[in-house]
Amino acid sequence: MTLKDKWILITGASKGLGREMAILFAEAGGNLILTARTAELLEELKARVVAGGSECITVAGDLRDSSVLESVKSLCIERQIDVLVNNAGVVDITKLEDVSDERVDEVIELNLVIPIKLTKAVIEMFKTRKRGVIVNVNSAGGKKPVPDHTIYCASKYGFNGFAETLKLEIKGLGIRIISVCPGKMATELFNAAGRAMTPTHLSHPPKSPKAYSTCSKCRQDAHPRN
């Protein structure tokens, strides 16, 4: 699938892997809808994307806010997006007895509920067109349990189960679902969780489209077109 003139939504686009994907997709000719909580970083990224000749729309805000989520969903339909990248998420490294109920809600909503709602918003459109790509940036924690990551792993296992089940529903409709499950990466995600990683712990985000397609550190499960 060529990205030339295709519309792509990327959540969590202002930093880390989301930002790198936005740059690469724009370089490949894609037009972008970018969402994240940090408006200033989004606008800096938008300027870079537009300077390269691509169109770019930004939505700054927390996707847990219903008005922000509805705005993003509306843009997906208005621009007839071709690719949905569910990248936004949060890490929690806390023993179960120490995590607050509010934190449980936050992790489950950002890592599982929001991607489900965004996918639900576009799936009928994708089915009608018989094409579309959904990229779910999951985690190795969605494949293997990790101590002190109980709520995080629960959200990511749920995310994986959602994707695998949806693949069965859309089989034969020309829609691809790609689940990427990297380990710890050199982004700010773990810093925000209060557990900074050293270089020996980390996988660095690849810097080219080819690297994304061949990266041995990321397991990709793609439902083939048929």
Which residues form the catalytic set?
Answer: 152
Residue owning tokens 């690297």 = 211
Query: Which tokens sit at 34?
Result: 């970018």
C-alpha angle 191-195-197 in degrees, rounded to nearest 5 = 75
User: In sequence order, which ranges of 170-193 are alpha helices (DSSP H)?
Assistant: 189-192
3-state secondary structure at position 136: strand
Q: Which two tokens stand for residue 36?
A: 């994240």
CB-based burial of residue 213 (10 Å sphere; 0-12 exposed, 13-18 middle, 19+ buried)? Answer: exposed
